[in-house]
Structure 1
């Protein structure tokens, strides 16, 4: 159990600190349907992480560590590919970061949240968790790491659940603040949204750099041993 969970902590934190989903959740909580749309987006986010992770675990079923207790070569090769892709995303986000007084541009769908129904809010959460390139790479990396451990299917399912719970902390925190503090939460959430809008690219670049470098390093070490 500890081995499987230990494999996914870094990836879970990387998913949790995704700026756009947090910004989207805060925007949802400023709409007339905040009480339904905020939790709906969080639910969609959790569902997306769970679906992608489950699919990877099922596809990876039966791929066990080597006889020497090392992770299988396919896992190391996958880590290398994912790491390189994350490093590329790090460079892209860093180059795209706003400079000086540059205006920060949000995705078009973020500007129409006032008209969202709970179903649309859930769909946005699902799309941001399952289709966003950075999150998709991290979920695949986490699920493949879990699948490579010599543990039972039940233990792997628990490890995936822990990963999803950690990954949901970022989008879940604004929802908890909204219901716990009510009107008093608005100033806190607005400040969080503005800061993350301004620093989105830098945050993403640092996350992708750290996790990408870790994946590449681990993969090269495993493949060369």
Structure 2
């Protein structure tokens, strides 16, 4: 199916926003074919972007896994997994989609259009995944996607994390700082727990090289550790970039 001049003009606008020029604009266009539109087509060759969503999810998961692996060199698998999950999720990707105004480019069925599909987070998140799958397919290069996300658009995700501080991984930030400045690893000492089993409060102190930083409390050890890390970050005056 040939693209109309108006569609080409619209997609060219998006290329400027995402900082990538497609060799084949049809690949970019296909990232916006929602299943609701496909169901209205008599032409069976008209495909939705669902397969691209699947591919994009895997690619973006790898991008952020590699990015955090390189950025935070001394945190364990569990912390890396948690950090990745805070970014590779519907809320984060829909936020990024809104940054690029991806709803504007969607091709929706009549029912989905009327029900506000262009602003629906689940659709926007899926579209963001499909978009970066399209970039991967057009460039035939994982490194192109990696560079776009981690060099040119990482501020979108940094700002998202700053706004959603409850999702911010303070332990990872503190560990990265201590590793670079002191070549050491942060440890967390359980000081005490109080209260009945169903409502215990845990008190934990962050430390490195036997130097005590700040204490934190929480409803479980992990929450207390995050609070201790947050309090230590504030004490040390570490700026969250």
Asked whether the two chains share a fold, i.e. TM above 0.5, the reply is no
TM-score normalised by L of structure 1: 0.26
Higher strand share: 2
Larger RCO, structures 1/2 (Cα 8 Å, 6+ apart): 1
Flag the structure with larger Rg. Answer: 2
